[in-house]
Amino acid sequence: MSTLLEAYKNNPLQLHHLIPVDFHSLRAVPESHVWPESYNFRPSPSDENFSIPIVDLADPNVKDIVGRACQTWGIFQVTNHGLPSGLLEEVESAARRLFSLPTEQKKKVLRSPGGATGYGCARIAPFFPKFMWHEGFTIMGSSVDHARVLWPLDYKHFCDVMDEYQKHMKTLAHELFLTILNSLDLSEPEKNWAAAVYDSESNALQLNSYPSCPDPTRTLGLAPHTDSLLLTILHQCETNGLQTFRDGFGWVSVPRVSGALTVNVGDLLHILSNGRFPMVCHRAVVNGTRHRISVAYFYGPRADSVIGPFSKLGFPRYRTLTVKEYIGIKAAHLGEALSLIAI
Ligand SMILES: O=C(O)CCC(=O)C(=O)O
Ligand SMILES: [Fe+2]
């Protein structure tokens, strides 16, 4: 758990990068949130032969299918993931309840400048010239301290839903991680070692809110980034908005498939795979009429684990370092982090 917290403490944010504007009071997109046209928010024209893989986790060949999806795209959607029915709807409605609170109330649980949990702008904000049409709420472990402030008499339901969701995400993420390890050509000891050492410890649940926007073609919900840990499992609730960058093609939409979850490779898994799994640069666009919610679960290893390319995957492209060190480099350099550890 100390991973993210320590890295963030050393890279505190300024208040203007921490407090989202009151989106509901805006009738137009303010200059501060207008992004240059070079960001071109429209995805490349869709092509049926060029869409994100959908993987049925009950498929007997799941190991090969997931391995191929990680290598070709680094991002895929999963069905038959075993989440109890109703939990996806419950987490969405709990998130909506939070974001529909008055701004002054949400600010009572504002993330501290060097903190990791609570309400605020996306952590990547300082790396970009414009502000994002986004507000977020980050949970690591229990959400009870913040929920008690938000709903002094009625916080339990929110906490129960978040606990239950995290419990199921942890199980699913670990299963996916084992499937991915099995798909790689590793020795048995190396595989077993990785499965034990990298079992989830540094996890975070990120609730994202993208209020409906008067001019969605001029602003961005979440700027292009890669996720830092091993794997991310994303629930896009109701409204599309996620896009992923594909070399030689451009931005590709990741349309939501009802009941499916989106999985993407994070930086640490890219490093472990010695670059075999591509970096997954992605972003979120906003909607003109709908208030979009997404819920991201970040799955990562213990802070003190040492991470480096698996020895069977060729000459190492990255140096070996602790997870804590990598997260610190990412917090200070964002998109440059991987090149800073390249050999
Ligand atoms: O909202 C989305 O579709 C993307 C969210 C995301 O990339 C993140 O939380 O890291
Ligand atoms: Fe992300």
Q: What is the pLDDT of residues 189-210, one digit of tens each?
A: 888 888 887 776 778 999 999 9
Q: Hey, is 273 helix, strand or coil?
A: coil
| 6 pLDDT above the threshold of 80 | no
* Reported confidence tier of residue 25, pLDDT bands at 50, 70, 90: confident
Residue 49: the pLDDT is: 58
Q: How far is CA 31 from CA 26, 129, 255, 284, in A?
A: 12, 11, 29, 19
Give the residue, by CA position, lying nearest to ligand 1 atom 1.
294
Q: Residue 171: which pLDDT band, with cuts at 50, 70 and 90? A: very high
Other C-beta atoms lying within 10 Å of the C-beta of residue 340:
13
Cα of 289 from ligand 2 centre, angstroms: 23
The CA 246 to ligand 2 mean position distance, Å, reads 15
User: What is the reported pLDDT for 208?
Assistant: 98
| Closest CA to ligand 1's atom 6 | 296
Q: Is the dihedral of CA 249, 79, 123, 253 positive or negative?
A: positive
Pairing of strands 54-56, 75-79: parallel
Q: How confident is the model at residue 45 (pLDDT cuts 50, 70, 90)?
A: low
What pLDDT does 48 receive?
55
C-alpha 207 – ligand 1 centre gap (Å): 9
Q: Which protein residues have a CB closer than 5 Å to ligand 2 (ion)?
A: 227
Whole-angstrom CA distances from 149 to 131, 143, 162 are 27, 10, 16
How many Cβ atoms from other residues are within 10 Å of residue 104's Cβ? 8
pLDDT on residue 8: 73
Helix residue ranges per DSSP H, the chain: 2-9, 62-72, 87-99, 103-106, 144-150, 156-183, 188-197, 267-272, 323-333, 337-340
**Closest ligand 1 atom, CA of 241?**
3
Q: Which run of H or E residues covers position 118?
A: strand 118-120
Q: 283 catalytic, yes or no?
A: no
Q: How far is the CA of 300 from the centre of ligand 1 (A)?
A: 16
- The pLDDT tens digits of the residues spanning 90-140 come to 999 999 999 999 999 999 999 998 888 999 999 999 999 999 999 999 999
Domains and CATH numbers, the chain: 4-340 (2.60.120.330)
Residue closest via CA to ligand 1's atom 9 equals 296
Mean pLDDT, the chain, rounded, equals: 92
Q: Which residue has the higher pLDDT, 202 or 186?
A: 186
CA distance 279 to 12: 26
257-275 pLDDT tens trace = 999 999 999 999 999 999 9
pLDDT band at 316 (very low <50, low <70, confident <90, very high): very high
Place 1 in a pLDDT band, splitting at 50, 70 and 90. very low
161-168: long-range contacts (C-beta < 8 A, 24 or more apart)?
A: 161/87, 161/90, 161/91, 161/94, 162/91, 162/94, 162/205, 164/87, 164/90, 165/87, 165/90, 165/91, 165/205, 165/295, 165/297, 166/139, 166/203, 166/205, 166/297, 168/82, 168/83, 168/84, 168/87
Q: Which of 222, 233, 235, 287 most suits a substitution to test ligand 1, by most atoms within 8 Å of the C-beta? A: 222
Q: Which amino acid is at 292?
A: R
Average pLDDT over residues 315-337: 95
Substitution candidate for ligand 1 out of 52, 294, 295, 297 with most atoms within 8 A of CB: 294
pLDDT at 224 over 90: yes
CA distances from 229 to 159, 226, 255, 300 (A): 24, 9, 23, 5
What is the predicted pLDDT for the residue at 276? 97
pLDDT higher at 235 or 113: 235
Model pTM?
0.95
Give the Å distance between the CA of 264 and the centre of ligand 2. 9
Residue nearest to atom 8 of ligand 1 (CA): 296
17 CB contacts (<8 Å, ≥6 apart)? 121, 125, 126
256 by Cβ neighbours in 10 Å (0-12 / 13-18 / 19+) ranks as buried
The pick from 207, 209, 234 for probing ligand 1's pocket by mutation, whose C-beta has the most ligand atoms within 8 angstroms, reads 234
Tell which atom from ligand 1 comes closest to the C-alpha of 294: 1
- Which residue of the set 283, 292, 302, 317 is catalytic? 292
Residue 218: DSSP 8-state: S
pLDDT at residue 71 tops 90? yes
CA pair distance 53, 66, nearest whole angstrom: 9
Confidence of residue 14 (pLDDT cuts 50, 70, 90): confident
Question: Which residues are near ligand 1 (CB < 6 Å)?
Answer: 206, 208, 222, 227, 234, 236, 241-242, 282, 284, 294, 296
The complex's ipTM works out to 0.99
Residue 235 neighbours by CB under 8 Å, 6+ apart: 88, 91, 92, 261, 262, 294, 295, 296
